[in-house]
A and B are shown apart, each in its own frame.
Chain A
Amino acid sequence: MSAKPAPLIEGTALPVWVLSAVGLVAAWLPAFLRVAPNRLLTGEALSPHAWLLAGGWLLAVACSFVTVPAGRWVLALLAWTGVAGLPLLAGADARDVLAHATPFTRVQPGAGFWLGWLAAALLLLDRLRGMRKAWQAGAWFAALAAIVAASATGAFDGLSLVREWQAQRAPFAAALGEHLRLAAVTLVLALAFGAPLGWWVWRTGRANGVLVGTLAFLQTVPSLALFALLIAPFAWLAHAWPALGALGFGGTGGAPAVFALLLYALLPVVRYTVAGLDAVPADAREAARGLGMSRAQLLWSVQLPLGWPVLLAGLRIVAVQTIGLAAVASLIGAGGLGRFVFLGIGQGAMDMVLLGTLAIIALALVADLLFQGLLALTERRA
């Protein structure tokens, strides 16, 4: 194929072929859906629309051979239909199955569904590249809006994930709140401690010193070990000072979890603070000193505005990392969405596991997008 002298449309057909191949495999995987007699059993595979899906992917391949400009749009539209339509198809199939089944029957989206949806999303991402930002955002927003609108009409009510959520609405909301609180408190504390520490490291030139070395060392310790090791000291603290115990400093629970999350979060915050301060040109600093600014004024009106984008990039990494690690914190009784994951694994209730997992992934992605947006906003202003 690489021997071909000129690709059909400037070499951009390859991603379509690869992703369509993935999509075709997904379409022929046995399980687009899994039908289980109840929420604890593994279901039987069901792929009612394998031919339709395979046809869609073959159409995508065919479109990649069309050289007219419209081919590109047809492909984007096809990918968009996959992103918005696959969940709808799964929801409709689930409703059909449930129409003549026992009330305990669960219809789970299977590997075929997830892989196919992923391929469609990546194809959409690929085809939208190079288009105007507004178009790109609009396409994703429209897909999201279509799914939200459909869910409002109950299109997904047959799917096991939705039923699990409906059955556990209150515990899920509580877990989500706990997770957000753990992450938010950690992020605020990491900024409050990490930024001054980073400033100190930068001023004294101790980027390779004991402090950064210790934080880097902590970074390699497996999260479960660090969480678990903190239980004993915190239990002792609460025992020695009952006042601390009243504040929630028990052996298990929120306090040791936040402490461990903070230990992991400090290194990136310190490193990015140093990088942010390094990013301020020496000329700007000297000019400010020449204007008679004090050190505090220099920090506030020169270094902070100029170094802020770098620090923000660091906070983005910290936020995503903390949301992921907070899932482990549920093993030491700190609650959060990890409780759904690990409790679900313990009970063998995969819908519960998936509900917690998808919520964690969604939370991490939203945090990532949020910080990306903030970054774009500050960079435009600068």
Chain B
Amino acid sequence: MRAAVSLALLVALLVVLPHSAAWFHAWQPDVSHPLYSRHSFFALTLSHVGLVVAATSIAVAVGLGLGIVATRPAGRSLLPTVRAVAVIGQTVPPVAVLAIAVPLLGFGAAPTLLALALYGVLPVLGQTMVGLDQVPKPVLHAADGMGYGRWRRLLDVELPLAAGPIMTGVRLSAIVSVGTATIGSAVGATTLGSPIVEGLVGNNTAYVVQGSLLVGALALTIDAALAAVERWIRRGQS
């Protein structure tokens, strides 16, 4: 429901904004170019979503993998170290990760992707460890008693039972990515933040409003869609 409303809002903005030059001109008469035109809003949205999807996919693969390794008997001794990385890493602001990626990879989409993926790992990793730790011991013993192997127990019992918390981590990761990708336009990535940054630099409030409205609607859509997935996964679980 909420997802549908936000998606409708996003689509409406994408359809209406390219034809709204007259309105922005009426609101800001002294601005000569009232409509951001370097890239189409649709292209900006696509590239923004592309960055977030790519980064979140990497984050899920790495975070889930590390979380599983650290909760296996052979890897248990790594758990405190992995947990410390996740906890200390969370105190590092996303902007800082973005700034550190620039000297490594230069300007453009690459440092933004690296920063998004690195930072996105933390919520997935943390929630994977929480979820796998929450699986009740009796359930594990039952699986062992039924002759489940290590892999089958993981895939058929532990991961389905931990899916709710893991999905929470995925959602957190994606939302932080949407926000950080917006700032990524300050280091040269082409995202919905580009009109905002250009508007701030050039004192063009119309650009700022156009970028902000779109990225706000996009963030709400992604959050609502992932929240719906999370509710669906958690259905039947208390």
Contact = CB atoms under 8 A, between A and B. Distances in A.
Contact of B99 (A13, A229, A356): A356
Interface string B173-207: 00100110011001100000100110110000100
Nearest to B196: A228
A108 B103 CA distance: 11
A122 B216 contact: no
The A interface, classified by DSSP as helix, strand, loop or mixed, is: helix
Contacts, number: 137
Instruction: From A2, A15, A224, A228, name the one whose CB has the most chain B CB atoms within 10 angstroms.
Output: A224
Nearest to B103: A350
B100 A354 contact: yes
Contact of B78 (A14, A320, A338, A353): A14
A225 interface: yes
B146 interface: no
Interface residues of A, number: 51
Given A228-B212, A345-B99, A368-B91, A220 B84 contact: no
B104 A364 contact: no
A225 B187 contact: no
Interface in A331-370: 331-332, 338, 341-342, 344-345, 350, 353-354, 356-357, 360-361, 364-365, 368
B162 interface: no
Nearest to A360: B96
A231 interface: yes
A345 B186 contact: yes
B191 to A, nearest CB: 10
A221 B219 contact: yes
A325 interface: yes
Nearest to A350: B103
A232 interface: yes
A125 interface: yes
B196 A324 contact: no
B91 A320 contact: yes
Contacts of A344: 99
A122 B99 CA distance: 22
Nearest to A332: B200
Nearest to A10: B77
B220 A217 contact: yes
Interface in B76-93: 76-78, 80-81, 84-85, 88, 90-93
B65 interface: no
Contacts of A368: 91
A324 B96 contact: yes
A360 B93 contact: yes
B121 interface: no
B143 to A, nearest CB: 19
Contact of A353 (B81, B88, B99): B99
Given A129-B80, A354-B100, A229 B223 contact: no
A151 B118 CA distance: 31
A36 to B, nearest CB: 11
A126 interface: yes
Instruction: From B91, B100, B183, B199, name the one whose CB has the most chain A CB atoms within 10 angstroms.
Output: B91
Contacts of A13: 77
B92 A327 contact: no
A344 B178 CA distance: 23
A325 B94 CA distance: 9
A18 interface: yes
Instruction: From A11, A19, A323, name the one whose CB has the most chain B CB atoms within 10 angstroms.
Output: A11
A222 interface: yes
A364 B75 contact: no
A357 B96 contact: yes
Instruction: From A108, A353, A368, name the one whose CB has the most chain B CB atoms within 10 angstroms.
Output: A353
A12 interface: yes
Given A19-B81, A231-B205, A353-B103, A360 B216 contact: no
A353 B107 CA distance: 13
Interface in A64-114: 108, 111
Interface of B: 72-78, 80-81, 84-85, 88, 90-96, 99-100, 102-104, 175, 178-179, 182-183, 186-187, 193, 196-197, 199-200, 205, 208-209, 211-212, 215-216, 219-220, 223
Interface of A: 1-2, 11-15, 18-19, 42, 108, 111, 122, 125-126, 129, 217, 220-226, 228-229, 231-232, 320, 323-325, 327-328, 331-332, 338, 341-342, 344-345, 350, 353-354, 356-357, 360-361, 364-365, 368
Given A341-B96, A357-B99, 4 more contacts: A14-B78, A232-B208, A345-B102, A364-B91
Closest 7 CB pairs of A and B: A324-B93, A2-B74, A225-B212, A222-B179, A222-B182, A350-B103, A357-B99
